[in-house]
Amino acid sequence: MASEAPQKIAILSVYNKTGLLDLAKGLVKQNVRLLASGGTSKLIKEAGFPVEDVSAITKAPEMLSGRVKTLHPAVHAGILARDLASDEKDLADQNISKVDYVICNLYPFKDTIAKVNVTIPEAVEEIDIGGVTLLRAAAKNHSRVTILSDPEDYHEFLKELEKGEVTEKSRQHYALKAFTHTADYDSAISEFFRRKYAGEGEQQLTLRYGANPHQKPASAYVTEGKLPFKALAGSPGYINLLDALNAWQLVKELDAALDYPAAASFKHVSPAGAAIGVPLTSDERKVYMVDDIAGIENSGLAQAYARARGADRMSSFGDVIALSREVDQATAKIISREVSDGVVAPGYTKEALELLTKKKGGKYLVLQMDADYVPPPHETRTLFGVNLTQHRNDAAISPQNTFNSIVVPKDSAPLPESAQRDLTVATIALKFTQSNSVCYALNGQVIGLGAGQQSRIHCTRLAGDKADNWWMRFHERALNIKWKQGTKRPEKSNAIDMLCAGLTPENELEKADYERVFDDVPAPFTAEERKAWLAKLGEVAVSSDAFFPFTDNVFRASRSGVKYIAAPLGSQNDQACFEVAEKLGITYVEQHLRLFHH
């Protein structure tokens, strides 16, 4: 005669006792032996259901004021045992029975630390040890054991139990919940103690506030190792770090791809400008307002930042700066007199640091980046309580490997080095620009960038208009403006922008405000003058972070001197775009990477 199957065993240890008595009733109905600890056992007994204390199998009392209840081989061997002969022998030798169901949830650590002025000893007492061990052990062995950590699951569990068994799919679902429960619990504990014990600036950094002043508290932290940067001066805000960390990646990749010092000017998580240290002409020095910077001709980094800042001075106002190499005195001199929020670089000379730490009365943000830091391969962000994770965009862009698939003209010679360089600058800039985005580049620098537009053509127009504005600043009339003494640099930038964009005011009040900065008011550009000057702009490179869906993008790019276009393929209108480009004398290159960034 076959031996009767052993009675099933459940261990119950819960802080949240919602639904506990209904669950106990259902388990007893199915002839499950109940073992429970502490308050869980007390509540079930008072309700009149048969239950034993866990000590019935551990042969040891609860101790240390309840800190030790379930931590015992009789409990955990019973949970972790598999249906293996060797495990069965071990259990038999120690007279231990298998555990089939574990019902457990944890002390309210999050609720405790949310209280005002909670102390460390108070928080420590809410760190569950036995419960986490029960959850993890049962979840680990979920091929045999059912783990319930959420009272919402009790009803469906009992329905399955009444039918005879808990399905494998349900055990998997419950195990995932248990692992998630312990992970969330551990994260709350580590975050609490990180705030208490981690050295400020080592593993975490308290931020002034989040994206807006009312979004407090805010912090930056890493869960392993140290933060890859340190603040040498000033205190960063949330958006400062979004700009700094994106900008740093951009300049690091530009430097690696082209072997030139690189600079970026970032505003609101997109580059206002980016460039490498190609030597400046005398006109460029005037346009970028650096013709009086001593030693600039000997500093590739200073020339890179002059280009990055100077391409779109209006957008760069109040920027965060990224520099790929040690900051020298000439570069610091440019930074010191411009309106910006901060700078990130791998290092600073003594003279440069002295200049920068005096800016804003010592409150100017100066970040030093660990140039050897390599981030984890995956990145996670939380939006509206939902966690999103993806592989970090570590695609490498280089002139040698990214721009060698020329679509038209079919018999085209390889791209000249200058075109490869400029397409590299434009494409790496797009990698860190809010999408949709299109970028125009020339002379190793961004000259026009359209970021974050819902329509591709609006990106192309916005970037093209900026490129046109940039080029108009090289017109003799813009180069030779006579300013009234005492006119500030931002006022000059604004007046030049209005002149070159064809936006000189007609309203008398606004016109008076515009004209007050000039000793000799420059005449507005006529349509014919603009057309004639813009016709001299050429050899411009354009890159797009996704395909051009219509030919209007190609037509618009051509009006700003574009000679080279790089874009991913995949549009139904690819062929039409190719044909238009070829007729306009534009070389069209397939860029194999879509580079959306959000």
Positions annotated as catalytic residues are 140, 268
Torsion of CA 319, 323, 328, 334, to 10 degrees: -30
What per-residue string of b and e applies to 94-127 under the rule 16 or more CB within 10 Å gives b? Answer: eebbbbbbbbbbbbebbebbeeeeeeeeebeebb
Please, is 6 exposed, middle or buried when counting C-beta atoms within 10 Å of its C-beta (0-12, 13-18, 19+)?
exposed
- Site of tokens 């800016």: 359
Q: Residue 85 in 3-state DSSP? A: helix
DSSP 66: G
Are 9 and 100 within 8 A, CB to CB?
yes
* Type of residue numbered 597: H
CA angle 331, 324, 562 (to 5 degrees): 90
Q: Are strands 437-442 and 445-451 parallel, antiparallel or unpaired?
A: antiparallel
Question: Per the structure block, which two tokens stand in for 59?
Answer: 């042969």
- Site of tokens 């030790």: 68
Are 278 and 303 within 8 A, CB to CB?
yes
Give me the helix-helix angle, 527-534 and 456-472, nearest 10°: 90
Give the CB-side neighbour count of residue 465, counting CA atoms within 13 A: 12
Distances, alpha carbon 229 to alpha carbons 175, 233, 238, 522, in Å: 38, 12, 14, 47
What CA–CA distance (Å, rounded) separates 348 from 366?
Answer: 10
Are 545 and 595 within 8 A, CB to CB?
yes
What per-residue string of b and e applies to 33-46 under the rule 16 or more CB within 10 Å gives b? Answer: bbbbbbebbebbbe
Q: How many CB atoms lie within 10 A of CB 174?
A: 25
Please, which residues have CB within 8 angstroms of residue 515's CB and are 6 or more apart in sequence? 521
Please, which residues have CB within 8 angstroms of residue 290's CB and are 6 or more apart in sequence? 280, 296, 302, 306, 310, 334
Torsion of CA 138, 139, 142, 144, to 10 degrees: 0
Distances, alpha carbon 496 to alpha carbons 155, 473, 500, 528, in Å: 72, 7, 6, 19
